[in-house]
Structure 1
């Protein structure tokens, strides 16, 4: 079953944009989300495969409306909740 992010071989999504000179992060919160994800992976909370799956499990409308790092944050929140990393909060 294809998910909304599975666009391999499909057309109509426009050309790949590579913007020279763009910073890796457009806002401080994006860098924090990146660092948090790396810490959780290195800490063994989840794997990169599990992280990717959590991104891909987003509802199609949410996925399409979210930015790259908003998808990352959604996946982190999903996995932390599923693993009860923060307890029963």
Structure 2
């Protein structure tokens, strides 16, 4: 069974953008997601096979609408819920920035 990430040979996705601006992250939150993933893998919370599977198991519409690091965040959240470190819905409400929560 092919998953949405396996688009080899499929038509209709347009050309691949091969431009490289040299920036690994385009926003601070992307760097944080990257660091969080590295830490959770290093601590044995989940492994890279589980992480990849969580990304590849995203609903197709969500996968196609998400950026690279949005997919990573989805996988991290999914795995933390699956393993009981987060209750489903714990991250539905965005946290107030430090010092702004009454």
TM-score, scaled to structure 1: 0.88
Which structure has more RCO (C-alpha within 8 Å, separation ≥ 6)?
A: 1
Structure 2 unaligned spans of 5+: 91-102
Name 1:48's counterpart in structure 2.
48
Structure number with greater Rg is: 2
Structure 1 unaligned spans of 5+: none
Runs of 4+ in 1 over 3 A off after TM superposition: 86-89
Name 1:9's counterpart in structure 2.
9
Deviation at 1:87, TM superposition (A): 6.4
* Secondary structure class of the residue paired with 1:14: coil
Name 2:70's counterpart in structure 1.
70
Aligned positions, number: 89
Name 1:84's counterpart in structure 2.
84
TM-score, scaled to structure 2: 0.78
* Secondary structure class of the residue paired with 1:7: coil
Instruction: Report the RMSD for the aligned CA atoms in angstroms.
Output: 1.8
Partner Cα separation in structure 2 for residue 31 and residue 37 of structure 1: 10
Partner Cα separation in structure 2 for residue 7 and residue 77 of structure 1: 25
